[in-house]
Amino acid sequence: MFSQEKYLKALNYAAKAHGEQKTPHGLTYLSHLSAVAMEIIHACQEGEVKDEDTDFAISVALLHDVLEDTDLTISDLIEEFGEEIASGVDALTKDFKLESKKDQMADSINRLLTQNYAVQSVKLADRITNLQKPPASWDNQKIYSYYQDSKFILSCLKNANPFLSQRLEDKINSYRIYIK
């Protein structure tokens, strides 16, 4: 079983960092982070992953957006959680200095491919969680692009975790109903 103390440490840190941030559906951001962590927990149980690897993956899942969406720095994460977790979260963080979304996605995937399967699995779990009914503000082109990006992520990271890969493939197939 994973460590509840480590889970709560990462959860509380992320909750404080994200503050009043909301999901595109208006929910507290903690709901998204918890859903990603739940996907990781389930995948680790299905794959009989060692406890220390599960703790690592859950911590990265709960923290995966703190560098992208808050004022925290990688130094903050290193100080609080260590180099390995900070490096995993950093690999999951988009580089907004790159101009196009296509370049950001390619860079993200390239950095993820240098990480272990646990970090890559967080990307799969994040995308699984995000493949729900698109926000009303999204037009068909944005929905289609998100669908295509999801297929690209799966093609690149499918070896990270067979359980999550199948879950993502199923979610992608279900998501097609939103494309007009």
pLDDT tens profile 77-135: 999 999 999 999 999 999 999 989 889 999 999 999 999 999 999 999 999 999 999 99
Q: Average pLDDT, stretch 27-38?
A: 95
- Residue of 78, 65, 12, 11 lying closest to 38 (CA atoms): 11
What is the model's pLDDT at position 143?
96
Of 89, 151, 155, give the one whose Cα is nearest residue 122: 89
For residue 68, indicate whether it is catalytic.
yes
Q: What is the pTM of this model?
A: 0.95
Active-site entry in 46, 69, 84, 149: 69
pLDDT reported for residue 1: 55
Residue 46 known to be catalytic: no
- pLDDT tens per residue across span 149-175: 999 999 999 999 999 999 999 999 999
**Which residue is catalytic, options 68, 80, 84, 107?**
68
